[in-house]
């Protein structure tokens, strides 16, 4: 598959994604566990059908020490026993926030309350921001059809 255009070589895209990356870096300051963040970006990427981001975040999570079985089961997390209650709450929030148009009223109070039981205010903000950022990346890559499979862990590190 060929991309419609290369977001990694376009000057406007480079400026935009540099700023988006800077915004995403704030998430690391909120104390959200890295493993949770990795699961969140992977699940949103799966939902959005972004092959490039699914490839990238799977490889980055593996490089960070995540278990391959857990990553393989992210799409079926409800039936999997390998996730903590906190991770399950984050994955549920990710799904509702990513599929926001599918439910009148957006994220339900029940989903929010489950997440709030496990994460403090800063971590909840981090989850919201991370979900927003990955959805922006997913949409850009899906629109231009960025091919998957060529990413190497850490290749975009500053």
Q: pLDDT at position 2, please? A: 85
pTM: 0.93
pLDDT tens-digit profile of 10-23? 999 999 999 998 88
**Is residue 16 classed exposed, middle or buried when 0-12, 13-18 and 19+ CB atoms within 10 A define those classes?**
middle
Q: In angstroms, rounded to a whole number, what is the distance separating the alpha carbons of residues 110 and 14?
A: 38
Q: pLDDT at position 26, please? A: 87
% the chain with pLDDT above 70: 99
Fold of 11-144: AhpD-like (1.20.1290)
Q: In angstroms, rounded to a whole number, what is the distance separating the alpha carbons of residues 91 and 93?
A: 5
Structure tokens at 148: 């998957």
- Let me know: does 126 contact 30? Beta carbons within 8 Å: yes
The yes-or-no verdict on residue 59 having pLDDT over 90 is: yes
3 compared with 1, residue with greater pLDDT: 3
Residue 158's pLDDT band, with cuts at 50, 70 and 90, is low
Residue of 51, 58, 60, 59 lying closest to 73 (CA atoms): 58
pLDDT tens-digit profile of 126-139? 999 999 999 999 99
Angle made by CA atoms 125, 157, 26, in degrees to the nearest 5: 20
Q: In angstroms, rounded to a whole number, what is the distance separating the alpha carbons of residues 100 and 157?
A: 30
């Amino acid at each position: 598959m060929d991309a419609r255009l290369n977001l990694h070589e376009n000057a406007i895209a480079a400026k935009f994604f540099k700023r988006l990356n800077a915004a995403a870096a704030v998430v690391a300051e909120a104390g959200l566990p890295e493993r949770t963040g990795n699961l969140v970006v992977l699940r949103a990427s799966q939902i959005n059908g972004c092959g490039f981001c699914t490839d990238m975040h799977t490889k980055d999570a593996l490089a960070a020490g995540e278990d391959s079985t857990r990553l393989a089961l992210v799409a079926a997390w409800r039936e999997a026993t390998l996730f903590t209650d906190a991770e399950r709450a984050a994955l549920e929030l990710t799904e509702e926030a990513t599929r926001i148009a599918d439910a009148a009223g957006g994220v339900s109070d029940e989903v929010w309350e489950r997440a709030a039981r496990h994460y403090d205010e800063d971590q909840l903000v981090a989850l919201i921001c991370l979900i927003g950022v990955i959805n922006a990346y997913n949409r850009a890559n899906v629109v231009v059809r960025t091919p998957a499979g060529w990413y190497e862990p850490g290749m975009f590190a500053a």
